[in-house]
Structure 1
């Protein structure tokens, strides 16, 4: 039964991300998004998007804090999910409310399915061409969760991953 919920979660998450990313690009036609993250907290009771554009990085490229601001979704500017993640978060709530739900197992599976969804969308070109100017990640606020490094490695070029690692690991 839980497997069915996770499959539904994955499908709804892909729909939400696709619609959200397209809406962002439509809303900001004149600007390019370099960063897109699925953002959650350590408890993973909800998940949502955050994005950033180059002109919203608050320091210049020669500043020692540049990589921090570039690769830290906590510092990014575009937090509006346009209510496109409501179904996804409802499914998360249902997963945690199941009888005999095991918190750690559900959390692990949600994060795993989130990475699968981001990877499938990336392979389908939703985020454009993978290059050194683009950054995708699953971000858990105030955490050193391994999903952050794993997603940064899987979804980005080696150069971008190394820049991320130089700041956060």
Structure 2
């Protein structure tokens, strides 16, 4: 373990905690970018409502907007990212077979249990990188619509 003054609760390794933090940050960044791209396409969408929505709801909005223009790639990647994130968030603390504090989780539906190990977290971060690249490419290829809707959104603030 490593020294921390933040809590008396036992923690996983410093690297594992770091990867959990990075995983959360890249996910929330991508949620914001998905919302930005939805707003670019839809005058009916509302930032205030979307920012308070669950990721699954946001993905359904992305399917109605972004997918109509770009195809299913972004929606499918975001859906996979959400599923992986849910396994992290709904995980439970346990000790793995190597004696390390780690998260355990289960597949929704089948109940098959597995560890959220460093490889899983790195795979999640890498998938978020792929999603970010697709979202950024999409945003850059639809810049005109983006500027029009951002101007409309800032007028309503």
TM-score, normalising length from structure 2? Answer: 0.29
TM-score, normalising length from structure 1? Answer: 0.28
